[in-house]
Amino acid sequence: MKHKPSQSLNHLIDAADALLSADDPDDAWLSSVKLVEQSGGNALNVIEVDRGTGALLWARSSMNPEWLEDYFSQSFLDLDPLVLSAHRGDQLSRMVNGRVQTFTDDSKQADDLSDQIVQWGYHTIDFYAFATDKPSTFKGLAFSYETERAHRMLEQKLLCGLISSVVFAPSDVNSAGATPFFENALTSREKDVLRYLAAGLRNDAIAWKMRIAEITVRSHTKSARRKLGASTREQAIALAIRSGQLEL
């Protein structure tokens, strides 16, 4: 006697087909958002975080753009309990009404984060952490729901795993799902300077190759370090590679 596939299994098969048939990274992101909405969610976030520093390397989000601007401008990332829980090693965390049970933060900024998340309609958020192909980073995927509800956690985790395997860093600020955070993206000139630095060239040699003044090379280096939060050239190169913005 043959057994018919369950509705959940059929949904996962359809999800895999949709994601694997995406033509490019932006299509993969848009297909992922659609699958989350079909599962009853109202937003999807995918981020990559440096395990050592906790720095956000890139992010895609389908949350309200005005809320995302508020989130980054108010430095909520620094105290976001979902990101902090993943950084300490938790593979799954749940936020309800802006709070995560395993975290206690009575600061005014934490209260503001909690209140604003609820006001924007993100009542319940499930956050999954996945390993990447780089041991120094992890990917975080957040499913958001407008109301609290019971979830088929296994199905949801499998769907998140599928999404994690196809969603990568936005190529520029115009990429689908790119967040205001991506205003810190490196320019093509900054990438060229870092690439030459990584190859061992000095500032004067880089200036000659790029046909720009040496002071301009230093300016590009300083700007790239600022955007990446790097204290040295070497750290800037490493962070640019980890974030997918630089290939050597």
pLDDT digits (tens, 9 = 90+) for 7-17: 667 777 887 88
Q: How many of the other CB atoms lie within 10 Å of CB of 236?
A: 27
The residue extents of the domains of the chain are 7-182, 186-242
CB–CB of 149/124 below 8 Å?
A: yes
pLDDT value of position 125 = 95
Q: Three-state SS string across 74-106, please?
A: CCHHHHCHHHHHHHCCCCEEEEECCECCCCCCC
What is the pTM for the complete model shown? Answer: 0.76
CB–CB of 65/151 below 8 Å?
A: no
> Residue 141: which of 11, 22, 41, 73 has the closest Cα?
41
Q: How far is CA 237 from each of CA 136, 173, 241, rounded to the nearest angstrom?
A: 14, 20, 6
DSSP string, 221-237: HHHHHHHHT-SSHHHHH
**Mean pLDDT, to the nearest integer, of 34-43?**
91
pLDDT value of position 149 = 67
Is 1.10.10.10 the CATH number for 186-242? yes
Which stretches of 31-72 are assigned E, i.e. beta strand?
Answer: 43-50, 56-61
Element of type H or E holding 127: strand 124-131
Is 3.30.450.80 the CATH number for 7-182? yes
pLDDT band of 172, cuts 50, 70, 90: confident
Tell whether the model's pLDDT for residue 3 goes beyond 90. Answer: no
Among the listed ranges 47-61, 113-127, 141-155, which one has the minimum average pLDDT value?
141-155
Q: Each residue of 10-45: b (16+ CB within 10 Å) or e? A: ebbeebbebbeebeebbebbebbbebbeebebbbbb
pLDDT value of position 82 = 95
Q: How many CA atoms lie within 13 A of 156 on its CB side?
A: 24
- For 43-76, what is each residue's pLDDT tens digit? 999 999 988 878 888 999 999 998 998 888 788 8
CB–CB of 93/81 below 8 Å?
A: yes
CB–CB of 114/96 below 8 Å?
A: no
pLDDT value of position 1 = 44
> Residue 83: which of 181, 154, 192 has the closest Cα?
181
pLDDT band of 242, cuts 50, 70, 90: confident
User: What span, in angstroms and rounded, lies between the C-alpha atoms of 54 and 236?
Assistant: 15
User: What span, in angstroms and rounded, lies between the C-alpha atoms of 246 and 236?
Assistant: 10
User: What span, in angstroms and rounded, lies between the C-alpha atoms of 218 and 204?
Assistant: 10
**Mean pLDDT, to the nearest integer, of 89-95?**
91
User: What span, in angstroms and rounded, lies between the C-alpha atoms of 46 and 67?
Assistant: 16
Name every residue whose Cβ is closer than 8 Å to that of residue 185 and which is 6 or more positions away in sequence.
Answer: 172, 173, 227, 245
Tell whether the model's pLDDT for residue 148 goes beyond 80. Answer: no
Looking at every residue in the chain, the average pLDDT score rounds to: 88
